[in-house]
Structure 1
Amino acid sequence: MRLSVVLTSRVWLLVLFVSVVGCTAPRAVINSGKVTAPGRFKAGVNFGGNIATEPIGQLDDIAKSAVDAIAKRDSVYYDDEVEAATKGLLAYALDPVGPTFDFYIRYGVARRVDVGYKYASGVHVFDAQYQFLGPTGTPENPGEGDWYGSVGLQYAGQSSEWIDNLFLDKLQPLLQFTAKRRDYTVPLIFTKSFGVEEQAGSVSFGAVYNRTSIEYGFEPGKLFERYGGEVEEVNPLMEENGFSSYGVFANARVGFKFLYVVPALTVYYQNYGDYKLLNNASYSFSGLTFIPSIGLEARFGKGR
């Protein structure tokens, strides 16, 4: 008999946001179209959230009571509850939902190029940005114009240690789910400066493309399937897949010269594609992702 769902979606969402920390894919766009001046630094912290419609919907289909009941059995037969758990784990790996925290530093390496490092919710992120439009001066030595344009490339990789923080961790001895993902993000950023060279802040907007590659698998133990009068173990599964995400974003810098508050919002749409699950099942995922954030940024260094 299928166990009933005992928590509403609002409660599950609250539980998820409170209990899951350090797991989201770092795809927010907070950069300005003006790169860091040569020899100078930017550093900051950000707080936000990754709100993805597909994982939230899949996790809402899984009752904690069902997870607890399955985990207590000596052996488990593949059924709707187990399949819902596998779909939830995979959907979460495709687009982890939860709060975000990161800190970053950027350095100007050349007149129109800067590079950055970010530690984003347990993930190491590296990027570079090229400014193709607008002045490259500083508030002390400004250029002409108040519009900037840049294109960037960001790389991030993460694995599935976050499973230990999800309520489905009790099923890990049974399902042995693993996942590794790589994200390549290309933002196109346009910025309008307030004052010379963003001295009083700026507003930025643009489009962003993200390509995700993922390796995932299940190596179930004590999971069985009935075929007529016979019982067989469910075979393990290891697959690779990838998908593209298309987004838009807006952010702002509100402050003066050295210190700024940075609110931002990035929105993606993605068709995650078709994914194989245990017992020859498969499923298609698609949905929207909203990434709001707010942070604090400081600028320093003498430049060259």
Structure 2
Amino acid sequence: MGGNTGVNVGTAALGKLTGAVKELAEEAADKDTVNYRPALDQVQAAALAYALDPTVATSDLYVRYGVFDRIDVGYKYSFGAHSLDAMYQFMGPIGTPEKPGGAAGANYGSIGLQFSTQRAKLPSIPFLNDAERLLGFSARRIDLLVPLVFSHSFGAEEEIGSISYGLAYSHSFLKYGFEPGKIYTGPGSGQTTQKLPSVSGRQSFGALGAFANLKIGYRYAYFLPALAIYYQNYGTYQLLNNKETKLKGVTIIPSIGVQFRIPNTRNR
């Protein structure tokens, strides 16, 4: 079991956030009625980008358990997202630091599948709070992740740690919507003014990334600095007033964590 804290840096979100977009969202959020203008498309694109890949501090807690030889399962809570996964070890010896199955410096390989679901909330910062109230934005996502991991043990059975690296492919399914209650088309008065209808849509997209992490400690407690980098093409999204936007970007996730190991008393 353990936990991680880090920073999720999404270039798609950073690229959509400008001073003009922030000012427009702040100004329009406090009005009773808002006339549609093309600049509102950028506010919607920024909200979507932040829901898909925000630039925020991240943290998670997890627990893992070996259910069979070479197979372990885990649960992770990422403060809003719930994840379940299973890993299969296809390469390397089987054992524990108390009862090693191989010599020091062994190499290991594993592949897994992770399922997670969450309501894609916008970070609690003033601009995004304004955008969420203005646009009536909501989203929910499901993510599937397939990691391929290789590691080199320090000591027998990672007794003093390891270095790990690999590739990961993820596929995400997003359901989103805009329900603007006070955005209108037209000159702002008279019979031609019309409230913009709500928009809802679904989108799926894949991402490919690479990662590396170091595990340093002794038997029961370890520190885990890590770095992951992903490229993601999010696809095309429907916006209000029959407009659309395309999103893509790179995600960089540096993190540091701690891990605690509870030995199986049967292996002592």
CA distance in 1, matches of 2:120, 2:68: 37
**Contact 2:115 2:142 (C-alpha < 8 Å) held by counterparts:** yes
2:51 counterpart of 1:96: no
**Contact 1:150 1:190 (C-alpha < 8 Å) held by counterparts:** yes
One-letter amino acid of the counterpart of residue 134, structure 2: L
2:70 counterpart of 1:112: yes
Which of 50, 70, 74 is matched with 2:28 structurally?
70
Partner of 2:142: 182
Shift of 1:93: 1.4
Shift of 1:118: 0.9
**TM-score under structure 2 normalisation?**
0.92
**SS of alignment partner, residue 96 of structure 2:** coil
One-letter amino acid of the counterpart of residue 279, structure 1: N
CA distance in 2, matches of 1:79, 1:48: 37
Shift of 1:80: 3.1
**SS of alignment partner, residue 136 of structure 1:** coil
2:141 counterpart of 1:208: no
**SS of alignment partner, residue 13 of structure 2:** helix
What CA deviation, in whole Å up to 9, does each residue of 1:91-149 have, x standing for no partner?
11121220011111101101110011111132211111000000111122111250000
Which of 77, 84, 87 is matched with 1:129 structurally?
87
What CA deviation, in whole Å up to 9, does each residue of 1:30-68 have, x standing for no partner?
xxxxxxxxxxxxx11111011010011112355443222
Q: Which runs of structure 2 are paired with 1:227-242 in the superposition (5 Å)?
A: 230-242=192-204
Where relative contact order (Cα < 8 A, 6+ residues apart) is larger, the structure is 1
Distance 1:208 1:259, change over 3 A: same
Number of residue pairs aligned between Structure 1 and Structure 2 = 262
The share of aligned pairs that are identical, in percent, is 44
CA distance in 1, matches of 2:203, 2:17: 21
2:41 counterpart of 1:83: yes
2:193 counterpart of 1:194: no
**TM-score under structure 1 normalisation?**
0.82
CA distance in 1, matches of 2:43, 2:193: 21
Which of 153, 170, 175 is matched with 2:130 structurally?
170
**Contact 1:77 1:225 (C-alpha < 8 Å) held by counterparts:** yes
**Contact 1:123 1:157 (C-alpha < 8 Å) held by counterparts:** yes
**Contact 1:61 1:84 (C-alpha < 8 Å) held by counterparts:** no
2:110 counterpart of 1:150: yes
CA distance in 2, matches of 1:129, 1:99: 27
Distance 1:61 1:186, change over 3 A: farther
